Chains A and B, each alone.
Chain A
């Protein structure tokens, strides 16, 4: 197989530049994932204390009002795993985005519509969101809701964003601002964890099963809940993980697909140069003979 140095360089140089291009264009997994906490400047957390909650549901109403949502669309719901126990605070948890430090939705969003803000909360860029639903499919808590048409695919992702505009003004989130019983507060995350622990110490004699949820799960969540029981009683995963499928899709298949595609094109280019050379040599031999 005879290929001269010039032809070889013509092909291998672009191939060598591919990894450089990848880094520059930010197509490598780590940079595209964005789950790193380098964005966080002023880490906050929302604390929901079940032992203070009276199930008035004003937090839900305030959230709907602030976000202009219709009656049947909620970004936060005080609910139970079992429909029979929806009125009993012992079975209630705050079902909404937990703003995980290790956020699956952020990793799987194909268009980078999901990002983390400076307070540590996860936001959706509504203009960018294509409604593909990967975030809803991969979320370990099945939180994101897709509003729109499943048929046409025209829809947007809805979930709690932690009211970043209010937080920027030093105000509490809409839900926390509406709670008349102090069950919902917003503050510096470390302070909120201390507060949750202090409250847990206060109640553990009367509520021995009380559990703090969100302190360490998924590297720490920005919604912290003081629940009456252990999380599994609410249908919440005790040790939630980013699903393995999310890792396979984002960290393995995407780079492999990109890499193999580039290799295939380079390989075909190489084949073309060699084949053309061979044909020309054959023709030259034929005309000579």
Chain B
């Protein structure tokens, strides 16, 4: 029986999966309208209806999570916007680490490594950007000038490109990259079962592991 530690609570995982599911539906129904070759699938308007139904889940899930998990929310938002010297270490090490799998060169990471933090900050920022631009285009359409809604299309486009690209990276980094294996004790497991093996925690998030276990940092990292 390998030793495990809990990385993500049930509430966090539920939010993640509902929000991720909604985002994927939004992404695909948006992509169909954005890439000319795919738009044959949008004929008639049903993809727009699906897009709006998914918006419901996308917006309501966090609105339910936040009041029920206030402390975690505050901590999470603080984490997303706390950047410092440690992050420079990750930036310097990431080509060697992710391309050559040289685990010795990566400085100790916290609960979220720098890359995860960047994605998390993007989710927060662009979530709001999508929401506001979408709101103006949809529910406020009759009370806003055409020019404003034209620019909201542009804003929505930019958010779509940025988050779409990071979505590919996120999925890749969670389940495909060799360094996040094995799946039943690594990155996938952290969000699916909530737990990771102690070994994975020690080697990938040693600063966090040291905090929760009281152990001093071992082996990996400087």
Given A271-B177, A282-B101, CB of A249 within 8 Å of CB of B43: no
Interface residues on A, range: 35 or more
Q: Could you say which of B39, B49, B52, B147 contacts A111, with CB atoms under 8 Å apart?
A: B39
- A248 located at the interface, meaning its Cβ lies under 8 Å from any Cβ of chain B in the complex: yes
Question: Known pairs A138-B150, A275-B177, A275-B179. 18 more at Cβ < 8 A?
Answer: A27-B35, A130-B45, A137-B153, A142-B146, A150-B139, A150-B142, A154-B45, A245-B151, A249-B154, A253-B157, A253-B158, A254-B157, A261-B164, A264-B168, A271-B99, A271-B177, A274-B99, A275-B101
Assess whether B101 is in contact with A272, with CB atoms less than 8 Å apart.
Answer: no
Q: For A25, A155, A243, A249, which residue has the most chain B Cβ atoms within 10 angstroms?
A: A249
> Roughly how many angstroms separate A243 CA and B145 CA in the complex, as a whole number?
14
Chain B proximity mask over A250-279: 1 for CB below 8 Å, otherwise 0:
000110111011001100100110111011
Task: Give chain B interface residues in 20-48, CB to chain A under 8 Å.
Answer: 33-37, 39-40, 42-45, 47-48
> Roughly how many angstroms separate A131 CA and B51 CA in the complex, as a whole number?
13
Q: Is the interface of B mostly helix, strand, loop or mixed?
A: helix
> Roughly how many angstroms separate A134 CA and B149 CA in the complex, as a whole number?
9
> Roughly how many angstroms separate A96 CA and B181 CA in the complex, as a whole number?
62
Q: Could you say which of A127, A154, A257 contacts B49, with CB atoms under 8 Å apart?
A: A154
Which A residues are CB-close (under 8 A) to B52? 152-153
Q: What is the size, in residues, of chain B's interface with A at 8 Å between Cβ atoms?
A: 44
Which A residues are CB-close (under 8 A) to B142? 150
Assess whether A130 is in contact with B141, with CB atoms less than 8 Å apart.
Answer: no
Q: For A132, A133, A137, which residue has the most chain B Cβ atoms within 10 angstroms?
A: A137
Which A residues are CB-close (under 8 A) to B146? 136-138, 142
- Shortest beta-carbon distance from A51 to chain B in Å: 32
- B17 located at the interface, meaning its Cβ lies under 8 Å from any Cβ of chain A in the complex: no
Assess whether A153 is in contact with B138, with CB atoms less than 8 Å apart.
Answer: yes
- Chain A contacts to B: CB under 8 angstroms: 1, 25-27, 32, 110-113, 127-134, 136-138, 142, 150-155, 243, 245-246, 248-249, 253-254, 256-258, 260-261, 264-265, 268, 271-272, 274-276, 278-279, 282
Q: Could you say which of B36, B49, B177 contacts A153, with CB atoms under 8 Å apart?
A: B49
Which B residues are CB-close (under 8 A) to A249? 153-154, 157
Assess whether B34 is in contact with A111, with CB atoms less than 8 Å apart.
Answer: no
Assess whether B161 is in contact with A256, with CB atoms less than 8 Å apart.
Answer: yes
- B160 located at the interface, meaning its Cβ lies under 8 Å from any Cβ of chain A in the complex: yes
Which B residues are CB-close (under 8 A) to A243? 147, 150
- B86 located at the interface, meaning its Cβ lies under 8 Å from any Cβ of chain A in the complex: no
Q: Could you say which of A1, A258, A264, A275 contacts B98, with CB atoms under 8 Å apart?
A: A275
Chain A proximity mask over B113-153: 1 for CB below 8 Å, otherwise 0:
00000000000000000000000001101100011011101
> Roughly how many angstroms separate A18 CA and B178 CA in the complex, as a whole number?
27
